[in-house]
Structure 1
Amino acid sequence: MIALAFPWVFLALPLPFAVYFLVPAHRERAPALRFPFFRRMAHTAGSKTHAGAAVLSRSRFQMISAVLTWCLLVAALARPEWIGDAVEVSRSARDVVLAIDISGSMDTRDFKAPDGSPKQRFAAVRDVVDDFVTGREGDRMALIVFGSRAYVQSPLTEDLETITSLLGQTEVAMAGPHTAIGDAIGLAIRTFEASDIEQRLLILLSDGADTSSRMSPVNAAEIAASKGIEIHTVGVGDPDASGEDRVDLGALQDIAGRTGGAYFFAEDEAGLQDIYERIDALTPRETETLSYRPKTSLAFLPLGAAALIPFAAVLVLLFSSRHRRAVA
């Protein structure tokens, strides 16, 4: 289908005709001699007299060429476009950030694999998170890892293979031996600033108490709540341990409660798998569909024709003038 981007430009079509009829014609002066008995001499010689200033005449061919050129220029300014068939694009209606604790305590081998064998905490988390990420194809996700400091491993992206690949290359204690939950939440807030989507979800997993954050987890959670970020917290590890090895379940519950999220605790890999399935059920994939019609400008067609017509008209006039001289 062909449409015009600026159809109102056609209001300018009668402009040359208005100038032609309302503005006085240009007169070209010709040299002449003036003496009293000029009319008698002209009558005796059988010649016709002419005015001292004459209006140049135009042939019908010139007028038609000028009119066509003007009409084509106006048509080009109206910008004709070819509008293609509707194209629908689906994108995620929610952005998700994963914040994974990789402090030194995540190296503890107290998780039970499905076969009952002991398994490293981080290895169990990585396997479960891989399945979770793979099942959310089409969503935009980001990955943050934190220990003594928090780092963005991947900004928000739809390339979920990159998320799983980077998580697979991550090792325990790469970010330091301590736990900075508040900094991880703060970094997630900054990551969400690049998003124009209103629904924002942070899934935070930790096995320890906050010991090295520059911002307290409670304050960070309050800021996240004010920006519409919902936080689901997942606790792993031993709540009865001492020091940094003790998971602070109360803090994780408080963080989730302040943002309208949910709190979970996992004791083994099966429990962790169940938690991520419940999170998936709580936050199913939401998409929004955008529809648009691709447009291709066709303005070059009338513009090219408008450039060719005067050129062709000049060639025709030159050829006809030489032909008349040759016949004469």
Structure 2
Amino acid sequence: MSLVLWWVPVVVLALLVAVVISQQLRRTGRRKTGTPIANSERLTRLPEYERAVRGASKRVWFALIAAVLCLGVATIGGARWVYTNVVTPEKYNRDIVLCLDVSGSMVDYDAKVIDRYLEMLPGFDGERMSLVVWNSSAVPIFPLTDDYAFVKEQLEQMRDAMESGGYSEFVNVGTLEKPGASLVGDGLASCVMQFEGAAPSTDEEPIDDGRSRSIILATDNQVNGEQTVTLPEALQYARHNSISVYGLDANENQDAYAEEYRISLENNGGTYFALTDGTQVDTIVDTITSEQTSLIRGAPQLTITDRPEVWLWLLLGGTAIYLTMVWRSRL
């Protein structure tokens, strides 16, 4: 705790001392005035008179105390009494990319997938997240960030656009740059490249920065066209870069697409989940957050909290007491 304007109390105290000394000097030089009254002690000894004098004296003292308190509170409030604290931010070093298929066959499912993503969001704390949408080509909607308010806003905006009929304008720009549709392998490979050091153009070993890396892949696996990278190859690519892939299957029926998707994931280090099973959201979040990771400690930050409303309420209460006492004393 400290005073920002520390000199304010010093100035107020100096002025108060000057006023007291000035009043004392004025009283010393003033001659006594008044007219003596004979036998006034008969009046001053009456019980009612003594009671009235004691009451008036108490009210004067209460008014004086209230005035001093108001002056003190106003002085401290004006000097800005603030609370200081040193905070060291902590963040979990996990990176998560949300990888969403926005092909035509996913129109009826994408809003549900976004809802699943939104359900997962409260389970994370400090992780960085990114969103990539893809069809025949991929488009990053936002890069890895830990600004969850921004992440939530972007996800809700996309979901609302899908539900209101603005689907094509919102997600198809940039996702149809080559022939074909729902190219799962290419989409997953593009999501892998969102991580630092995962570019395929280098022959160097993947960067081991101690961060947990995860991709939540949502698709119905209905590939239409020739892929540059197959799904098993993309999964191996992710595995080579120490990235865990969690596959959400948007198929409502256990058909050949779902079976191929499940087998590809399980045979190449991924994990399969059915989108229709709502309980799997908690499972995915628990699985990601249970991975052993260390904390990233940021630079210490000094926080200053200014709470002037406390002093204003005290000043208001003291002023009310002072005015009440003055009014009752008829000063």
Change (3 A) 1:178 1:239: farther
CA RMSD of aligned residues (A): 3.0
- Preserved contact between residue 251 and residue 258 of structure 2 (Cα < 8 Å): no
8 Å CA contact retained: 1:234, 1:252: no
Counterpart secondary structure, 2:194: helix
- From 275, 283, 287, the counterpart of 1:282: 287
CA distance in structure 2 between the partners assigned to 1:102 and 1:96 by the alignment: 19
Higher RCO structure, 1 or 2 (CA under 8 Å, sep 6+): 2
Give 3-state SS (helix, strand or coil) of 2:223's partner.
Answer: coil
What is the CA distance between 1:283 and its match in structure 2? 1.6
Name the CA shift for 1:235/1:88 in 2 (closer, same or farther; >3 Å): same
The question of 1:190 aligning with 2:197 is answered no
- Hey, what does 1:88 align to over in structure 2? 88
Q: Deviations over 1:170-227 (max 9, x none)?
A: 3445235820211222112211126944310111011232334321111111111111
- What TM-score comes out, normalization by structure 2 length? 0.51
Question: In structure 2, what is the Cα distance between the partners aligned to 1:293 and 1:105?
Answer: 49
The answer to whether residue 233 in structure 2 is matched with residue 219 in structure 1 is yes
- Post-superposition Cα deviations, 1:147-187, rounded to whole Å, max 9, x if no partner, equal 22221111100012222322333344523582021122211
The answer on 1:207 being equivalent to 2:220 is yes
Write the mapping of 1:69-148 to structure 2, written as runs, cut at 5 A: 87-108=87-108, 121-148=109-136
The answer to whether the 8 A contact 2:119-2:281 is kept is: no
Q: 2:257 aligns with which of 247, 270, 273?
A: 247
Any conservation in 2 of the 1:201–1:230 contact (CA below 8 Å)? yes
Could you tell me which residue of structure 2 aligns to residue 229 of structure 1? 243
1:121-170 per-position Cα deviation (integer Å, ceiling 9, x unaligned): 22222222112123313210011111222211111000122223223333
In structure 2, what is the equivalent of residue 263 of structure 1? 272
For 2:137 and 2:258, how far apart are their aligned partners in 1?
18
Unmatched 5+ residue regions in structure 2? 1-84, 198-206, 303-331
Alpha-carbon separation, structure 1, partners of 2:110 and 2:272: 19
- Aligned partners of 1:211, 1:287: CA distance in 2, in Å? 42
Q: Distance in 2 between matches of 1:126 and 1:291?
A: 31
Hey, what's the Cα distance between the residues in 1 that align with 2:287 and 2:216? 12
5+ long unaligned stretches in structure 1: 1-84, 109-120, 296-328
Larger gyration radius, structure 1 or structure 2: 1
> Any idea what SS the aligned residue of 1:192 has?
coil
Assess if the C-alpha contact under 8 Å between 2:249 and 2:274 holds in 1.
Answer: yes
Q: Are 1:102 and 1:122, in contact at CA under 8 Å, matched by a contact in 2?
A: yes
Structure 2 residue identity aligned to 1:262: T
3-state DSSP class of the match of 1:191? coil
Aligned equivalent of 2:182: 179
Letter in 1 for 2:272: Y
Q: How many residues are treated as equivalent by the alignment?
A: 191
Asked if the contact 2:221/2:261 (under 8 Å) is kept, the reply is no
Q: Distance in 1 between matches of 2:99 and 2:240?
A: 19
1 CA distance for matches of 2:300 and 2:218? 43
| Distance in 2 (alpha carbons) for counterparts of 1:144 and 1:98 | 6
Q: Which residue of 2 aligns with 1:156?
A: 144
Q: Deviations over 1:83-120 (max 9, x none)?
A: xx975221122111110111111223xxxxxxxxxxxx
How far, CA to CA, are the matches of 1:131 and 1:293 in structure 2?
32
CA drift of 1:252 comes to 3.9
Residue identity in the other structure for 1:201:
S
8 Å contact from structure 1 (residues 98, 141) kept in 2: yes
Q: TM-score, normalised by structure 1?
A: 0.51
Q: Which amino acid aligns with 1:227?
A: N
Aligned sequence identity (%): 23
Q: Structure 1 residues 211, 86: CA separation in 2 closer, same or farther (over 3 Å shift)?
A: same
Structure 2 CA distance for partners of 1:254 and 1:161, relative to 1, 3 Å: same
Paired residue secondary structure (2:156): helix
- 2:81 counterpart residue number: none
Deviation per CA, 1:58-84, whole angstroms, max 9, x where unpaired?
xxxxxxxxxxxxxxxxxxxxxxxxxxx
Q: Distance in 1 between matches of 2:220 and 2:263?
A: 13
Q: Structure 1 residue 247: deviation in Å?
A: 3.4
* Matched position secondary structure for 1:148: coil
**Which deviates further from its counterpart, 247-256 or 135-144?**
247-256
